[in-house]
Amino acid sequence: MNDTQRERFSRLFDHLDADGSGAIEWQDFEILAGQILSRTETEPTSPRARALHDAYRTGWEALTSTADLDGDGRVTREEFLSRIDDPDEGPRSLRAAIHAVGEAEFQAIDTDGDGRATLPELLRVLDAKGGSSKQEAVAAFEALDTDGDGSISLDEYRTAWEVYYRADDRDQAHRELNAIFA
């Protein structure tokens, strides 16, 4: 893992450590789910909210099964970063955990449930999240929309997520994705 990748995965750790405790725990996933539901104005008891919680539970279980090296129910930054280069592609791998979280977030962004995220849907979430200008968000949307159809599919989102975190600093083409993934 190069320095850029380490920095990006470290930021991902910071994102997942929603309470800032220095370790990722189940309650961090609950906090993240609550934030997404709030940003997307999703009723907490709706089927969409239950699906988000279920996907986060799947991500949490995959994360702890591969990265909670000491079995204490928490994943520290060191444990998390030590598992990034794990070649395991199975359903309990760190990659599977990251994909489950990404899929849950995509489904929350896709508020109309049509399997595609539109620019207005993405802007609403990023505006609530803060930290990105509209220009940065539009550039990120355009980078994600690789087939140019005016919307983002789950496959486009997953691919961008994977490429973003695996890219090195020389990969200028994916820097605009900072608005979403950083």
Q: What would the pLDDT profile of 50-86 be if each residue is shown by its tens digit?
A: 888 888 888 888 889 888 999 999 999 999 988 876 6
Global pTM reads: 0.76
Q: What confidence tier does 176 reach under pLDDT thresholds 50, 70, 90?
A: low
Output the DSSP codes for 86-152: ----STTSHHHHHHHHHHHHHHHH-TT-SSEE-HHHHHHHHHHH-S--HHHHHHHHHHH-TT-SSSE
Q: Which token pair is 83?
A: 């598992």
The 10s digit of each residue's pLDDT in 96-148 is 777 777 787 888 888 888 999 999 988 887 765 666 778 888 888 888 899 99
| Residue located via tokens 């609403």 | 124
> Which residues, including other chains, have CB under 8 Å from residue 156's CB and lie 6 or more apart?
144, 145, 146, 147
The CATH architecture one would assign to domain 3-181 is: Orthogonal Bundle (1.10)
Alpha-carbon torsion (132, 180, 154, 163), positive or negative: positive
Is pLDDT of 179 > 70?
no
Average pLDDT over residues 91-96: 66
The CA distances from residue 12 to 18, 50, 62, 102, 148, in Å, are: 10, 23, 16, 11, 27
Q: Where are the domains of the chain?
A: 3-181
